[in-house]
């Protein structure tokens, strides 16, 4: 998720979204509670990118 944060700080929404999606898959497989939080971040990135 560190790479996703870096991409987000640089304003690269496409790369950030992709990295967060990769992290979400891993978290879902591990049944990690942070999965929902990452899903919300992805939704916010997509909404921002579509403006």
Q: pLDDT tens digit string along 17-37?
A: 999 999 999 999 999 999 999
pTM of the model: 0.90
Which of 49 and 25 is assigned the larger pLDDT?
25
The pLDDT of residue 34 is 97
Which of 51 and 38 is assigned the larger pLDDT?
38
The pLDDT of residue 43 is 97
46 near 30, Cβ under 8 Å? no
The pLDDT of residue 51 is 84
Dist CA 50 CA 16 (whole Å): 14
Mean pLDDT, the chain, as a whole number? 95
């Amino acid at each position: 998720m560190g790479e996703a944060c870096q991409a987000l700080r640089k304003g690269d929404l496409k790369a950030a979204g992709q990295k967060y999606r990769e992290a979400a898959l891993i978290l879902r497989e591990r049944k990690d509670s942070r999965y929902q939080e990452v899903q919300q971040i992805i939704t916010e990135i997509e909404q921002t990118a579509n403006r």
